[in-house]
Amino acid sequence: MNLARSAMKARLAKLPHPDDLPPVGNEDEEGEESDSLGSLPPGGGLGPPAMPRRTHFKPQKTPNPDFAPISAAGFFKEAAQVAVPSRALDFRVYHTPPAVGNATGTVMICHHGAGYCGLTFACFAKEVADLSKGECGVLALDARRHGKTTSTDGHDEDLSIGVLVDDLVALLKTMFPEPAEAPTFLFVGHSMGGSVVVQACPKLQEVKYRIAGVAVLDVVEGSAIEALPHMHSLLNARPDGFDSLEEAIEWHVNTNTIRNPTSARISIPSIFRHVPDAKVLPVYQWRTPLRSTAPYWTSWFTGLSSKFLAARTARILILAGTDRLDKELMIGQMQGKFQQAVVPGVGHMLQEDDPTRIAELLVEFWRRNERVVVGVKKVGDR
């Protein structure tokens, strides 16, 4: 489907255009924020391991050019602002359509975690395109109050799970209004985004969209809920902001929040906003301060395991390291209800830390479940 169609009310721009994905120094792009669900104990599924507390982060006098922001132009084919009046939102999406066309192709619909943005999937998107030889596309979005998605009525504070799910469903219906002409969707959700895609899946199936599978990245309901009481104290270890984007990127890399400097240089600028007249805080401040999302934490993860297992499609859970499964998932795994993969050597931001391996797992998952031989049971089918 052509994103430029007026019915979609989208304004497309090729990524190299400076208005969409500007190079370092553009305050509009810098005005996006980044956060992971903080420094949580291993197994929390919400963020990286706890980092050493820093009451004072000393900014560099001269920004380090090794951590300068870089454009995502080579990682997605296009960027778009898609107006969805029913949600009073103007969504930023990053899109690489399938080379075979929407009606016969598959698109991985990627939803980021809290505090991040669609560019967290930039390196992953390029790997998917390469590994699938263009047959599988990628669509990554910025959720409300994140990245370059903006509110048209000034009321986008609500980040409860039901609102986020309805946002995603409305966006996809706007971009692909005819289910028969739409690509097959393969949902990929990281952390909080895992809950969003799991719950969006049945809503779209009800109106006849084709779903090839759902992938949840590094979140387990049981350990996530257990970690929530520690969130506020752990967030105290995070700087309030930075004096340059280079410092923000370097901090994420040096603390192992993101272990892939190239990915960090693409994704981090969009999760900060530039406040040049800041009097107290540094001029680059988190766009979505995680503490402000606290009222919604429980809603994001409660019931995730049962909803994941109930999804009427193929299912895969990809974890960073050895996280313990809760009881429901343990039983489901023993019954063969989902595929599980553990990726060594990565942190919570596994799609950024090792985009090649995550792409390999999901392209293989797509091939097994979307191009399955008639009569062969899909992974997760009952």
List the catalytic residues: 191, 218, 348
Six token digits for residue 108? 């991985």
Six token digits for residue 244? 């340059």
List for the chain the helix, strand, coil content (%; round to 5): 35, 20, 45
Interatomic CA distance for residues 48 and 362, integer angstroms: 22
The region, left, alpha or beta by phi > 0 then psi within -120 to 50, assigned to residue 191 is left
Sheet strands (E) in the chain: 10-14, 32-33, 78-84, 89-96, 106-111, 136-141, 150-151, 184-190, 211-217, 241-242, 270-274, 284-286, 314-320, 339-343
Interatomic CA distance for residues 368 and 167, integer angstroms: 29
Which of 297, 298, 352, 252 shows the shortest CA–CA distance to 114? 297
